[in-house]
Copies of this chain bind each other. A is one copy, B any other.
Amino acid sequence: MHLARIRQQTPDGPEPRVIASDNPERGWVDVRSHERLRRERAGATPAAAARIAAAVVPASMSEALANGEAFVDAARAALADASGDTSLDSAPELTNALDPAAYRDFMCFEEHFSFGYRWQERPVPEIMYELPVSYFGNPRAFIGPGDDVPWPHYTRRMDYELELGIVIGRACTNVTPEEALGYVAGLTILNDFSARDIQAREMTGGLGPAKGKHFACGAGPYLVTLDALPWERGLRMQARVNGETWCDATSAEMIWSIAEIVAWTSQGEQLQPGWLLGSGTCNGGSTIEIGRELSPGDVVELEIEGLGTLRNTLGIPREGGWWPKPRRPASHA
């Protein structure tokens, strides 16, 4: 099953709608519309059917996943119904599929992270081989397919990062890798846009990336359930800039599996439906390691086998903006 969202106009502004598909090339179904009709057929008045459908299939993908079986049943029923009453155009304009309340990014590709540490003039730390290391990203920075990438005033060195995104489907705590996949809703494409100049400076502080990542993160164009993907043998991952291929890699090179990432993250905390975990950049999946550079207006397309293509255009660098004034260390006072 593929899950995505479109934007519906309302008198109070656009509202996202969850849509589902068995095969995006053959078309999509509006899940809430189908649920409303299904409830009417089961004896609800039209107004009551609309209320129930809005609760079972909310505008937020995270809230929809949080509904558990109620939402999954509604989506599967919509796909099973061949009547076509709630079918959309075969190629509707997709918006942000995901609205994760939390987003954490890992580093699972050895060639990429080995390059990254050389770039920081450091040896590869042993911890990278001991457990999956991660940081939290900004959950408000998500942009969807077709969106422009804001270019903040504090950077001149923009980059993309081609990653596999893992979407949590059910709340879980302290699970093992054997149990973990049962809590995964599916996979998506992730573009962890990076401002390399400020990132390199900040990371010398040891608290991880911050402003270097918080301005934008791309996800989508849709979420695909694990049963509909050949994920176990690895998925081909490609990046194109202005139509030219800059990366051609595979998720088979992850040194930590999807199940291990979810299991480790769930230790000592409860993961929530809709939360997004990133694989980290695939090998060769950013510009720094291939000696290329991006410019305003560049079109970045990330494609992962079975997950579609996520296309975004880089914006124009913002002028102005505030910088802190440096402090004098007390030891120099």
Interface residues of A (CB under 8 A from B): 101-102, 104, 107, 110-111, 117, 120, 122, 124-141, 150, 152-154, 174-177, 201-211, 214-215, 255-256, 260, 263-264, 267-270, 272, 318, 321-324, 326-330
Residues of B within 8 A of A107 (CB): 205, 207
20 A/B residue pairs, CB under 8 Å, sorted by A: A101-B139, A110-B330, A127-B204, A129-B327, A130-B324, A131-B323, A131-B324, A133-B202, A134-B207, A134-B210, A135-B208, A136-B137, A150-B268, A154-B267, A203-B206, A206-B208, A215-B268, A255-B327, A264-B324, A268-B318
Of B174, B202, B214, B269, which contacts A268 at CB under 8 A?
B214
Cα distance A206–B207 in the bound complex, in angstroms: 7
Residues of B within 8 A of A268 (CB): 150, 152-154, 211, 214-215, 318, 321
Cα distance A330–B129 in the bound complex, in angstroms: 10
**A139, closest chain B residue (CB):** B102
Are B330 and A141 in contact, with the CB atoms below 8 A?
no
**A253, closest chain B residue (CB):** B330
Mostly, the A contact residues are: loop
Of B104, B110, B267, B322, which contacts A267 at CB under 8 A?
B322
Cα distance A240–B76 in the bound complex, in angstroms: 55
Are A256 and B324 in contact, with the CB atoms below 8 A?
yes
Are A263 and B322 in contact, with the CB atoms below 8 A?
yes
Cα distance A215–B271 in the bound complex, in angstroms: 11
Cα distance A110–B329 in the bound complex, in angstroms: 8
Are B322 and A269 in contact, with the CB atoms below 8 A?
no
Cα distance A214–B104 in the bound complex, in angstroms: 11
**A103, closest chain B residue (CB):** B136
**A122, closest chain B residue (CB):** B206
**A332, closest chain B residue (CB):** B129
Are A133 and B205 in contact, with the CB atoms below 8 A?
yes
Are B326 and A130 in contact, with the CB atoms below 8 A?
yes
In the complex, the 4 A-B pairs of residues with the closest C-beta atoms, listed nearest first: A208-B208, A152-B268, A136-B136, A133-B205
Are B177 and A140 in contact, with the CB atoms below 8 A?
no
Residues of B within 8 A of A211 (CB): 267-268
Residues of B within 8 A of A329 (CB): 110, 124, 129
Cα distance A190–B148 in the bound complex, in angstroms: 37
Residues of B within 8 A of A101 (CB): 101, 139
Take A153-B267, A154-B268, A268-B153 as given contacts and tell me if A207 and B133 are in contact as well, using a CB distance cutoff of 8 Å.
yes
Cα distance A329–B124 in the bound complex, in angstroms: 10
Residues of B within 8 A of A131 (CB): 202, 323-324
**A179, closest chain B residue (CB):** B322
Residues of B within 8 A of A139 (CB): 101-102
Among A133, A174, A209, chain B packs the most CB atoms within 10 A around the CB of A133
A156 CB to nearest B CB, Å: 13
A153 CB to nearest B CB, Å: 7
Of B104, B140, B321, which contacts A102 at CB under 8 A?
B140
Take A153-B268, A267-B154, A329-B129 as given contacts and tell me if A174 and B322 are in contact as well, using a CB distance cutoff of 8 Å.
yes
Residues of B within 8 A of A122 (CB): 206
Residues of B within 8 A of A272 (CB): 140
Q: Please name 20 further chain A to chain B contacts, defined as beta carbons within 8 Å, in addition to the given A110-B330, A125-B205, A154-B267, sorted by A numbering.
A: A101-B101, A120-B206, A124-B329, A130-B201, A133-B205, A133-B207, A135-B208, A140-B272, A141-B269, A152-B268, A152-B269, A153-B174, A153-B267, A153-B268, A203-B206, A211-B268, A215-B269, A256-B324, A256-B327, A264-B324
